[in-house]
Structure 1
């Protein structure tokens, strides 16, 4: 029979593995493939995100929450204003996030 401390260790390890798999998209991403546009995004394990996009003299900052279902990640900014990040859907493929139905769809975010 397995004692209680061994059970706790096993459940902790299994829980940690589940969190790692569930948060596979977490990380720091940089936009590639769009000239004259700079952007980076951080997806945190707690379901929050921060992002910035710079184009010429325009800086757009955004923060809010993100959710992942299968390989689709959806951003929901905290701000009430319209933002390029509002309802942004990203397709996760390996270490890249591909924006869908967005002006950013020409490029992709890659973790570095």
Structure 2
């Protein structure tokens, strides 16, 4: 009988190669001062397009965010600040969360109402979709 890895472990390794699993990467969206006009992007978003991964993002009107991601037994949570700079949104996790993050978006590219995700390994998989009320 062949030992099988749990499917979630395979999924993590396929989505995020082990050598790239770290979250202390600076945002690929240059940090900018939060502007009131950025509030057009405020809202509650759900990740779509990445199988067996659940994630939500809340962009608040004061330039703060709350985020989580879960895949298999891995659960990630962070709060921090966000900003818009041109066609991207950057996220910066507060220091108390950074050391525990293994997977965290490095860039959110604006696309109409969606936010296309770039992960620490440079892959652009999935997008955050604004929740309908």
* TM-score between the two structures when normalised by the length of structure 2: 0.63
Find the counterpart in structure 1 of residue 70 from structure 2.
54
Alignment partners' CA distance in 1, 2:115 and 2:100: 21
> Matched residue pairs, number?
93
RMSD between aligned residues: 2.0
Out of 116, 121, 125, the position equivalent to 1:98 is 116
Mapping of 1:57-76 within 5 angstroms?
A: 57-76=73-92
The runs of 4+ residues in structure 1 deviating greater than 6 Å are: none
Tell me by how many angstroms 1:101 deviates.
4.5
Alignment partners' CA distance in 2, 1:82 and 1:73: 22
Query: Would the alpha carbon gap of residues 38 and 101 (structure 1) be closer, same or farther in structure 2, given more than 3 Å must change?
Result: closer
Alignment partners' CA distance in 2, 1:39 and 1:29: 8
Q: Structure 1: which 5+ runs fail to align? A: 1-17
* Bigger-Rg structure (1/2): 1
Task: Answer 1 or 2: higher relative contact order, Cα 8 Å, separation at least 6.
Answer: 2
Equivalent position SS for 1:24: helix
Contact 2:89 2:107 in 1 (8 A): yes
Tell me by how many angstroms 1:44 deviates.
0.4
Query: Would the alpha carbon gap of residues 50 and 56 (structure 1) be closer, same or farther in structure 2, given more than 3 Å must change?
Result: same
Q: Deviations over 1:28-52 (max 9, x none)?
A: 0000011110000000010000001
Give the structure with the larger strand fraction: 1
Q: Structure 2: which 5+ runs fail to align? A: 1-34
